[in-house]
């Protein structure tokens, strides 16, 4: 029989000033995880190490670190949500603020940080939290001690987040784009190749509209280029592509596009929604597609066999 435990929470004293109560309540929804890797130089490209797990409310998380790069050229850290017993895996933590820092052994004030990042996490989702071309610098930098040790700190803030039901699949990949207003028609955002399910893909997004769009009819265009598949040659039958743009104000207003395509190695802008959403609606603050900083933080992609 599974043992059931209860937890009692201490009520804040009524005499505490309102501003102090607010600060205390907000601080209670912030968590920090400190992870030390003993010797980063012993790892090979593609090898990773996971940190111990930590939990705040129902959000359990850990770091997944590729010290010598996931693809061989870039130091990469993922923040990964870990499933919790008794929590429905269909629920998603939306709008989680997090920050990843690599601590400087010579000066605590000179940490290398990812800055504030927003993400949404399914039960076992991981989101890229830090990516830096520092591989050549690692063995001799101030971020590694004399024994090759490195300290990474993650800070998770749930003050603006919520736990919501969702229909996302575990093999979906999330993408985040900042400063949407700065993109002009024809300017693209190319993401590093990554594995979505069994397929290594590159996602290309045109936040200001595709160059083929007529003036005044610009729309958010999203394309996927399939580069390879795991274990087999490029498959001969069609793949199913699902692209979802999540509305952070009202999840029910989220937009999904589903289509099928045949991989042929062309690698051009032919697989994906040409106009997922008009650029005018995307930039309209009242619509709920961008956050208060003008960032589009939850564009999701899934590639699978039919």
CATH code at position 78: 2.60.210.10
Instruction: Provide the 8-state DSSP code for 269.
Output: T
What pLDDT sits at residue 292?
61
pLDDT number for residue 187: 92
pLDDT tier at 11, thresholds 50, 70, 90: very low
User: Of 77, 74, 163, nearest to 128 (Cα)?
Assistant: 77
Percent of the chain at pLDDT > 70 equals 73
Quick check: is 11 in a domain? no
Positive or negative torsion for Cα 163, 127, 232, 47:
negative
Confidence of residue 112 (pLDDT cuts 50, 70, 90): confident
Q: Do 160 and 187 have their domain in common?
A: no
In the sheet with 296-305, reading across from the earlier edge strand, the strands are 173-177, 296-305, 239-245, 255-261
Q: Once rounded to an integer, what is the mean pLDDT over residues 256-261?
A: 87
pLDDT at 135 over 80: no
Domain that holds residue 294: 183-302
Statement to judge: residues 62 and 106 lie in one domain: yes
Domain identity same for 160 and 98: yes
Query: What's the pLDDT score for residue 144?
Result: 85
- Whether 1 is covered by a domain: the verdict is no
Identify the DSSP state of 280.
H
For residues 4-13, average pLDDT:
39
Query: Does 172 reside within a domain?
Result: no
When mean pLDDT is compared across 110-114, 164-168, 300-304, the lowest value belongs to 164-168
DSSP bridge partners of 56: 59
Instruction: Supply the pLDDT for residue 304.
Output: 73
- Both 34 and 123 in a single domain? yes
> What torsion, rounded to 10 degrees, do the Cα atoms 105, 108, 110, 116 define?
120
**Mean pLDDT value across residues 9-32:** 64
Domain closes at, from 130, 165, 200: 165
Q: What is the model's pLDDT at position 1?
A: 37
Whether residue 124 sits in one domain with residue 72: yes
Q: What is the mean pLDDT of residues 101-106?
A: 86
208 plus 133 within the same structural domain: no
Whether 253 is covered by a domain: the verdict is: yes
The verdict on residue 13 lying in a domain is no
- Mean pLDDT, to the nearest integer, of 8-13? 42
* Residue appearing with tokens 């743009």: 245
129 and 193 co-located in one domain: no
Residues 104 and 198 occupy one common structural domain? no
Closest CA to 103 of 90, 94, 92, 112: 112
| Least confident residue range of 116-120, 211-215, 231-235, 292-296 | 231-235
Report, as an integer, the average pLDDT of 62-72: 84
**Structure confidence at residue 175 (pLDDT):** 75
| Inside any domain, residue 77 | yes
Asked if 37 and 128 sit in the same domain, the reply is yes
Residue 160 and residue 192 in one domain: no
Residue 150: inside a domain, yes or no?
Answer: yes
- The reported pLDDT for the residue numbered 165 is 72
**Final residue before a domain boundary, out of 165, 196, 230:** 165
Among the listed residues 104, 101, 99, the one whose alpha carbon sits nearest the alpha carbon of residue 137: 104
* Residue 6 resides in a domain: no
Mean pLDDT, rounded, for 189-218: 84
Residues 189 and 288 in one domain: yes
Q: 222 or 91: which carries more pLDDT confidence?
A: 222
In the prediction, which pLDDT does 237 show?
Answer: 66
**How high is the pLDDT of residue 299?**
83
More confidently predicted of 263 and 180: 180
Share of the chain above pLDDT 90, in %: 20
- For residues 157 and 248, state if they share a domain: no
> How many domains does the chain divide into?
2
Number of neighbouring beta carbons within 10 Å of residue 165 = 9
The last residue of one of the domains, among 105, 134, 165, is 165
Maximal C-alpha separation, the chain:
70
């Amino acid at each position: 029989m599974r043992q059931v435990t209860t937890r009692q929470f201490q009520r804040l004293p009524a005499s505490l000033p309102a501003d102090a109560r607010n600060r205390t309540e907000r601080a209670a929804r912030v968590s920090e995880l400190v992870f030390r890797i003993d010797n980063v130089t012993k790892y090979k490209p593609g090898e990773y190490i996971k940190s111990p797990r930590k939990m705040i409310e129902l959000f359990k998380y850990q770091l997944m670190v590729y010290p010598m790069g996931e693809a061989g050229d870039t130091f990469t850290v993922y923040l990964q949500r870990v499933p919790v017993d008794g929590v429905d895996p269909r629920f998603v933590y939306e709008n989680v603020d997090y920050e990843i820092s690599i601590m400087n052994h010579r000066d605590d004030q000179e940490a290398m940080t990812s800055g504030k990042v927003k993400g949404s996490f399914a039960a076992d989702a991981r989101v890229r939290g830090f990516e830096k071309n520092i591989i050549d610098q690692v063995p001799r930098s101030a971020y590694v001690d004399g024994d090759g040790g490195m300290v990474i700190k993650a800070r998770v803030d749930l003050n603006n987040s919520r736990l919501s039901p969702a229909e996302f699949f575990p093999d979906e990949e999330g993408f985040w784009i900042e400063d949407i207003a700065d993109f002009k028609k024809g300017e693209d955002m190319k993401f590093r190749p990554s594995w979505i399910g069994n397929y290594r893909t590159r996602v290309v997004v045109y936040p200001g509209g595709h160059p083929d769009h007529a003036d005044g009819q610009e729309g958010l265009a999203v394309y996927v280029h399939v580069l390879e598949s795991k274990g087999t040659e490029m498959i001969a039958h069609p793949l199913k592509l699902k692209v979802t743009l999540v509305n952070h104000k009202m999840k029910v207003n989220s937009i999904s596009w589903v289509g099928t395509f045949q991989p042929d190695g062309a690698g051009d802008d032919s697989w994906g929604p040409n106009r997922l959403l008009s650029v005018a609606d995307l930039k309209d603050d009242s619509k709920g597609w961008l956050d208060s900083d003008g960032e589009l933080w939850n564009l999701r992609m899934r590639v699978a066999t039919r």
